[in-house]
Amino acid sequence: MRLPDFIRSITQPRDGNRRAGIPVWAVVVALLSFTMWPPMGAAAHETGTATESHSLGVSLVFPDDGLVSGEQLCVALYAGSSPDTTQPPALSRCLDPGGDAVAFEALPHGEYSVLFPGPGSRLAESRYQGQLVSTAIPDDDRLASFGIDVNVDLAPEFAGTTARVEVSVFGCPEGTNAGSDKAGWASECQALAGGVPLTLSGTGSIEDAAFQAVTGRSGDASGRVEFTDLPPGAYELGSELPENVASDPALFAESSIDGSLGSLDPSDTLAVRPTETVAVDVYLVLDQDLVASDVIGLTDLEITGSLPDGADPAALVD
């Protein structure tokens, strides 16, 4: 049937039917609607493009241990690639200690800038350099979630090799065991052990950082060694234990930043922050029944043992 015949057939009464026909203008509107409106699927697609349905995740990679107790770092989101950061951000999310990622929801596609530390941040020290990172959410409804990883930079005064580890090694009488009481160890163990080889090896992101030293044999350096100009990060302390050491050593570490003092297991790592000095006291319990083949101790108690030529120092747990 041709289109004019079709229109005539539905607008005129049939077979003497007295009902009024459908007005021609209504049919024309219906036909125009059918030919000009998009299919339902296409309409849904257009609606999805207009809605703010995207999310942006921001993961921060810290150069140190990240936030400490009582700190908070806020990440601000601005529209555009060159925002006015003196104005309030469009959105802001904050990290507490242990956190390293935030998410911004219900965003339209377009260009964005991420600022940190943002307004509202509470940091004990201004150790993180302010950064403004540009990103974009593409005009593509097939993907709803996007994410970026951002390396957090240290402020210039904190960047570089600014950490320090100081180790003091003491010999203790046979049978000494003060548990986690550092004062108890210190009262019993006053002999400094010279000539003990030590290593400090980086772990995680600083695995290539490795240092060797031997505790001093005389003067103020007796029984002590210093590892200086260290990149911040996590380290393992190692040693070839003297042969007349009866058991695993007791270790205590104290931080110059917050004054914290705690005992360590021999297998624990040292977390060293920028510009921080960590003082480690190592207490070795002697077995006097063992015959000293090479006395290298310099005070009242004999600490024996030495690092064989060409050998690598083993971990303290060995």
pTM score, whole prediction: 0.50
Which residues, in sequence order, are CB contacts of 27 under 8 Å at separation 6+? 7, 10, 11
**240 shares a domain with 142:** no
Whether 294 maps to a domain, the answer reads no
The arithmetic mean of pLDDT across residues 53-69, rounded, is 91
Average pLDDT over the chain, rounded to an integer: 77
Q: Does residue 116 carry a pLDDT above 70?
A: yes
For residue 88, which amino acid is it? P
Domain boundary among 126, 151, 176: 151
Instruction: Provide the number of structural domains found in the chain.
Output: 3
* Positive/negative CA dihedral, 278, 279, 282, 283: negative
CATH of the domain at 122: 2.60.40.10
119-158 pLDDT, tens per residue? 999 998 888 999 999 999 998 888 899 999 998 988 877 7
> Does one domain contain both 167 and 141?
no
Same domain, 185 and 281: yes
Please indicate, yes or no, whether residues 181 and 208 belong to a single structural domain of this protein.
yes
State whether 203 and 276 are in the same domain.
yes
Residues 197, 258 share a domain: yes
Q: In sequence order, what DSSP letters do the residues of 235-278 get, joined into one string?
A: EEEEE---TTB-SPPEEEEEETTT--EEEE-TTPPEEE-TT-EE
Q: Based on the domain organization, do 111 and 224 belong to the same domain? A: no
Asked whether residue 268 falls in the same domain as residue 172, the answer is yes
Domain-located, residue 257: yes
Domain span holding position 3:
1-12+19-37
**Which of 24-28, 159-163, 164-168, 261-265 is the most confident on average?**
164-168
Residue 313 placed within a domain: no
* Burial of residue 62, with CB atoms counted within 10 A of its CB: 0-12 exposed, 13-18 middle, 19 or more buried: middle
Do 122 and 147 lie in one domain? The reply is yes
Domain annotation covers residue 305: no
Which stretches of 98-183 are assigned E, i.e. beta strand? 101-107, 110-116, 131-137, 145-151, 163-172
Report the distance separating Cα 228 and Cα 181, nearest Å.
28
Is 200 inside any structural domain?
yes
Where does a domain end: 151, 177, 196?
151
Co-location of 72 and 112 in the same domain: yes
Q: Which amino acid is residue 160, in one-letter code?
A: G
Residue 229 lies in a domain: yes
